[in-house]
Amino acid sequence: MEKTKNPNIFFLLIDAFRSDKFYGNEKTSITPNLDSLIKDGVYFTQTINSSPASVSAISSVLTAKWPDKVIVNGIKNHELSHKEPNYINRLNELGYNTTALTPEYFTYSKLTSDFDVSLWFNGGLHDGVGQQIIDTISKLEPPWFFFIHILDIHGTARNFPKQFDNKKYGFNEYERRISAMDPWLGKIFDKIDQNNTLIVVTADHSTDRGIYTPKQEKMKASFNQNNLEPFVGITKKLLSRALTKRIRGFYVEKKVNTKKQKKAAALKNILDLDQFEKRIQNNLVNPGFSLYDDRFRIPLLFAGLGLESKIIDQQIRSVDIFPSIFEIVEASSKMDVDGSSVVPLIKGQSFEEKPAFIQIITNWLTTKSASDVNLIGIRHKGFKYFRAKNDPEENVGLFDLTKDPHEINNLAELYPEKIAHMEKIISEIRKDIADKLQNKSEDQNSPKKSALNEEKLKK
């Protein structure tokens, strides 16, 4: 094992945190602790993740590779492949003590299999997770790498202190949850020696829930409500099992029908909305995946180690995060990856923008509609282009993000030369993915490799 004098690394991933709700004019939450960290660090406003689902997005971050290269099929869900090195392996080799604290819900994903210590939790910061993070920090042996994935604004952490359920803490519940996180973030940051620790704060993906109106949030919550729920609970105590089962069946049918009626009503009055507002409302009623920026612009903040305060608007990618971490802490990665270090930008040097390859890979293997997930695209130099994964003529979208940030006006028919240029980039990336997967398959099936595997099995 190599010895290292590298600093500690604190990596906080906040599920479904939108970039525009982390920093900027669209933010209405009250977050003095987070704001203070931004003022003392380097914040990237245009960080683009690789996939809108957690497992593929985080796998891409941990490997700095496009999701297709590092995702494999499990029994029912996608998993991180461990057939090739990732950055956690490399940190272990460098002598780091690696610890992960992540939701128990994601144990199937094998995202933390390579960490020295894997800890799990249910709930959120206010349910004991905040104190668990602080207690864990106090026990870490330097040099350490601490990876945390929390669900306080999106996911299983449903409860937050009632004092924050007030308009002064945010326009909607999403932003009030951000305000509610902040006191705990302050306590956590206070426990970290920032002179000897690189702090990284980011997200796995974004979400359009962050821009729901309060009315839309109530509408979303109402879809699963049914006033018969208390009555069903009482019947379990008073009636026979057979009768209870019949009542339960009636309840479920009533709930499904009520939900359908509420969804139909929610879509009735959207004719007066613009294309962007219609898209948000449609996705609220019938959730699905897309390649629009509401799922792909995430925050990225580097702080500590005396980094100079800076806001950077140039596009970078989530695959660039770990190559950048390794250069900041002056550690050798020795890895063949798709990402690039963005340290030149941090130093104020010129840095050519790289294409962000985006694709939909869900957490699960089966989906209701293949058309919702079989999409790939490119975000590059102010334009977004996407289309069906297996048919360049299907579901085509081209948007000028500078003039049209809400991606309303599809320019696909107006700029065939731009599409041709984007197609060339996609073809090069997909060929590289195919070549790497083919080489990996041939290497694993070679006689020499097979003999080595057999020898390992004997041992």
Q: Which domains does the chain have, with CATH numbers?
A: 8-206+296-350 (3.40.720.10), 214-285 (no CATH), 370-458 (3.30.1120.10)
What pLDDT is recorded for position 270?
Answer: 80
Measured between alpha carbons, how far is 360 from 363 in angstroms, rounded to an integer?
A: 10
Measured between alpha carbons, how far is 308 from 348 in angstroms, rounded to an integer?
A: 11
What pLDDT is recorded for position 232?
Answer: 47
In single-letter form, the type of residue at position 365 comes to L
Measured between alpha carbons, how far is 47 from 313 in angstroms, rounded to an integer?
A: 9
Measured between alpha carbons, how far is 441 from 459 in angstroms, rounded to an integer?
A: 24
What pLDDT is recorded for position 334?
Answer: 85
Beta strands in 106-244 (DSSP E): 117-121, 144-150, 197-202
Measured between alpha carbons, how far is 421 from 21 in angstroms, rounded to an integer?
A: 32
Per run of 10 residues, the mean pLDDT along the chain (length 459 residues) is 71 98 97 97 98 97 97 94 92 97 94 97 94 98 98 80 95 96 98 97 97 92 64 51 62 64 80 88 90 97 96 98 98 94 97 97 76 86 97 96 97 97 98 90 60 42
CB 377 within 8 A of CB 387: yes
Measured between alpha carbons, how far is 216 from 92 in angstroms, rounded to an integer?
A: 46
Measured between alpha carbons, how far is 109 from 59 in angstroms, rounded to an integer?
A: 9
In 3-state terms the chain splits into helix, strand, coil percentages (rounded to 5) of 45, 15, 40
What pLDDT is recorded for position 100?
Answer: 98
Measured between alpha carbons, how far is 316 from 454 in angstroms, rounded to an integer?
A: 43
The secondary element (H helix, E strand) that includes residue 35 is: helix 32-39
Measured between alpha carbons, how far is 194 from 213 in angstroms, rounded to an integer?
A: 37
Q: Shortest CA distance to 373 belongs to which of 9, 63, 67, 25?
A: 67
Determine if the pTM surpasses 0.85.
yes
